[in-house]
Structure 1
């Protein structure tokens, strides 16, 4: 009896307040929607990640000439969108620095592949002319069948430069810490009208294997052996043609991941 008398009073007070007891406020609905969106982003790759790798090695070529070479790859972003910075440099004995830097936007287009586009700046202080250039870059980066990590790029830039590059590699585990990585690298020069141009065709190719020992997930010393081929430079107004060169190269270095 008491409950029956009390219920109308409660309903009247709720109606006087302007909303029924069971109705959620706009603020509550917005908060619920925001939480749902955040949870959905978290479940579907909306988190921001970052990774860096730095490879330093001392390389001895087929003539017994040594050079210091470094490669840096750094990226930040989500599963769908990333920003990549890729840089490499080489300085042989008694020569100046040869380096390039790429800034790429990377967009996931399928389960194992990203499409990438951006710019590359290259510098070779050992050339007689056209030591600096900027290229537009477009390419793909991902995992090919049989777990080959693959990256392929097309470059179009100054001095009518058009070239393509391909790199593929795969890890083979001997133990949990001792790992061999066969790799292939190739650069095809389609056109170059610079005053210090290389020969067109397969201008550079490298096939080899790198064996590293993972002290931990950050420090990994390695030994590398590869067969390398270079077409050499073509004749221009400022330089003479050079012969094709090929042979074995050896390297000792360390890979850092952080």
Structure 2
């Protein structure tokens, strides 16, 4: 018996069946390659390898179906593309300061509000700030400004400002810029032209320092410079007054944040002389306690 015959007999005894691939392999091993005329060793080797290895698939067994409109609608909220929102009407209101202040001659209630309504490019801005000391309004004003975006972070504004106190009511024309500068420094620079040729330049800024995700330290500063003396309102020309503050707030929610802090107010030049005539100090530090709100 040959070797191949013995192998077949052993498999038959074990009730096993050779697969076609195994049989073909054994046939190739039992073939006398030297009897094949016209073929050299390299041709015989490539023929053996080709028959022993299965052919690689040429196409996917599970073809991917083409995308349909239903497939796109299931993935995208807007299958036709991203909608433009620059003409939508939106609004925002911020009570940056709503606080009690402990003054040397009593207690004061101070506020600084701002807000807008409009679209991405053009908006109507409203601002108001003031102070009531011992139940009497010492300073109050409101501004209505039209703002136009000149960059993603800056607006030019123009409009009117109405003063109610101190002195008699007075109306101003307002022009300026506002936006974000120098690593999230919120800035307002505004010039005012009032009745009788009075002029004012005001610069305001504040900056948020995140101590934690909810605990925020906010330094603030404001200065006012006038073009000429205004004895009726006890205001002198040049740099009139400055206010610096430091407030620490905790955001219970992003929209609601109680805070405490200190402010330092100082008058200069002729304005300080008017303050001395009224028995007031040139500078004063105050403890403040308030809440910051927005929606």
TM-score normalised to structure 1 length: 0.75
Aligned length: 212
- The 5 Å alignment of 1:80-119 reads 80-119=121-160
> Distance in 1 between the 2:194 and 2:83 partners?
41
> Distance in 1 between the 2:169 and 2:283 partners?
27
- The 5 Å alignment of 1:11-50 reads 41-42=84-85, 45-50=86-91
Residue from 74, 98, 101 that aligns with 2:115: 74
Unaligned runs of 5+ in 2: 1-79
> Distance in 2 between the 1:243 and 1:177 partners?
38
Q: Secondary structure at the match of 1:206?
A: strand
Post-superposition offset of 1:241: 7.7
Measured against aligned partners, the alpha-carbon deviations of 1:161-201 in whole angstroms (never above 9, x if no partner) come to: 20111111111101111001111111111224463341112
> Distance in 2 between the 1:214 and 1:70 partners?
19
Residue from 35, 48, 51 that aligns with 2:92: 51
2:180 is the alignment partner of 1:143: yes
Residue from 237, 240, 247 that aligns with 1:210: 247
Q: 240-249 or 75-84: which moved more?
A: 240-249
Large movers: runs of 4+ above 3 Å: 38-41, 192-197, 240-244
Measured against aligned partners, the alpha-carbon deviations of 1:210-257 in whole angstroms (never above 9, x if no partner) come to: 11110002211011212220233667xxxx587761132221001111
Partner residue in 2 for 1:157: 194
Q: 175-184 or 193-202: which moved more?
A: 193-202
Post-superposition offset of 1:47: 2.6
Partner residue in 2 for 1:190: 227
Partners of 1:113 and 1:142 within 8 A in 2: yes
C-alpha spacing 1:203/1:132, structure 2 compared with 1 (3 Å): same
- Structure with the larger helix share: 2
2:260 is the alignment partner of 1:219: no
C-alpha spacing 1:89/1:207, structure 2 compared with 1 (3 Å): closer
Partner residue in 1 for 2:292: 255
Post-superposition offset of 1:58: 0.5
RMSD: 2.5
Greater length-normalized contact order (CA 8 Å, ≥ 6 residues apart): 1
Q: Secondary structure at the match of 1:216?
A: coil
Q: Secondary structure at the match of 1:96?
A: strand
Unaligned runs of 5+ in 1: 1-35
Q: 134-143 or 154-163: which moved more?
A: 154-163
Post-superposition offset of 1:107: 0.2
- Structure with the larger strand share: 1
Partner residue in 1 for 2:209: 172
Post-superposition offset of 1:66: 1.3
Structure index of larger Rg = 2
> Distance in 1 between the 2:162 and 2:273 partners?
22
Q: Secondary structure at the match of 1:159?
A: helix
